[in-house]
Amino acid sequence: MRSVLPVLTVLIALIAVWISAVAPMNIRQSLDIAERAGVSVVPESARVRSETSRFYLMYRNPDEILRGYALDRPRLPTPKQVGQELWKTTGEMALKGRAFSKRSLIFHGWITLQSTLFGFALGTAIGILGAVAIVCSRTAEMSLMPWAIISQTIPIVALAPMIIVLTGQLGIEERAVPKAIISAYLCFFPVLVGMVKGLRAPAREDLELLKTYNASGFATFWKLRLPASVPFLFTSLKVGIAAALVGTIVGELPTGAISGLGARILIGDQFGTPLAIWSALFAAAILAGALVTILTVLQKVTLKRMGGAR
């Protein structure tokens, strides 16, 4: 709670920087529009202006600065414009009962969320299974662990178009599958590392105690190692779900997808509508925040019920 005031201050400062950056970013475009509307602007042709400093243009044409805050296709939109666009494509459409129309961000967010959760489940399963194999078998540890690390140094985006081609050739028409594979690829590693750490967390004394109980290997795993790994699991799940969302959006960006937040960004780029890009970006940020928050709550509830004080 102590950090609410500082965070708010920093946020307000960031928004202030953003708003003041709008004027120089949009000045050339505003002057072009003003000139076409017959207003006299100081260096006259757009060619000359493109070689003049933005701040000099602002200094010479102070009356036209405000025009930059209300452009249709701004280089840098104002926070208000982004907020309005975001509301127009989510809340307003939901109020009209068209929440799942193809133009609403709720629809696109839902598509992205599905792939993210699918990939997250897949990645978490692979991560947990891999961690169990690594903890149980030294051969698996020695052969898999280095490759798990190397897999994360490979830029997945290079592979993304190939994964889409491959799944397409294998006859999988479902667009969600390649996206889920990419997000699973990004998400399994934090889970794997966290689970290995967690499964190895029990102290030697605890393991020896179970030995004196004549507990089998399976019982030790089930009753000691697994419960001990839960706090580690939740920490890595939070990293994992953020990574899964990044994976889905990366999977949507270069592939000509038609629905999903990444596709909105792509389409906004192709049609030159910056407001669509910005609102999709913020929707993605809100989604990421919501997912991490849900996991944080789950973590608190679970650990409390397990009697942990962490």
Partner 1 sequence: MINLGAAVLFWCSAWTLNVVLARSKLHGHRLVRLLVPTLFGISVLVLWEGLVTSLDISPIILPSPMDIAERLVAETATLWEDFVQTVLKGALSGYLIGATAAFVTAILIDRSMFLTRGLLPIGNFVAALPIVGIAPILVNWFGFDWQSKAAVVVVMVFFPILVNTVQGLKEASVMQQDLMRTYAAGYWQTLLKLRLPAAMPFVFNGLKIATTLALIGAIVAEYFGSPTRGMGFRISTGVGSLSIDLVWAEIAVAALTGSAFYGLVALIERSVTFWHPSQRSEK
Residues of this chain that interact with partner 1 (CB under 8 A) are 2-3, 5-11, 14, 75, 137-139, 141-147, 150, 152-159, 161-162, 165-166, 169-170, 239, 242, 245-246, 249-250, 253-254, 261-262, 265-266, 268-269, 274, 277-278, 280-281, 284-285, 288-289, 292
Closest by CA to 272, choosing from 83, 77, 73, is 73
274-296 as b/e: b if 16+ CB within 10 A: bbbbbbbbbbbeebbeebbeebe
Q: Which is nearer to partner 1, 31 or 249 (CB)?
A: 249
Closest distance between partner 1 and the C-beta of residue 230, in Å? 21
Closest distance between partner 1 and the C-beta of residue 227, in Å? 27
Answer whether 292's CB lies under 8 Å from 190's CB: no
Closest distance between partner 1 and the C-beta of residue 87, in Å? 20
Q: Which is nearer to partner 1, 210 or 240 (CB)?
A: 240
Q: Which is nearer to partner 1, 150 or 309 (CB)?
A: 150
Closest distance between partner 1 and the C-beta of residue 209, in Å? 27
Answer whether 285's CB lies under 8 Å from 245's CB: no
Q: Where are the beta strands (DSSP E) in the chain?
A: none
Closest distance between partner 1 and the C-beta of residue 270, in Å? 9
Q: Which is nearer to partner 1, 116 or 224 (CB)?
A: 116
Q: Which is nearer to partner 1, 27 or 210 (CB)?
A: 27
258-272 as b/e: b if 16+ CB within 10 A: ebbbbbbbbbbeeee
CB-based contacts of 108: which residues, under 8 Å, 6+ apart?
259, 260, 261, 263, 264, 280, 283
Q: Which is nearer to partner 1, 82 or 210 (CB)?
A: 82
Report the C-alpha gap between 241 and 135 in whole angstroms: 23
Answer whether 74's CB lies under 8 Å from 276's CB: no
Closest distance between partner 1 and the C-beta of residue 207, in Å? 20
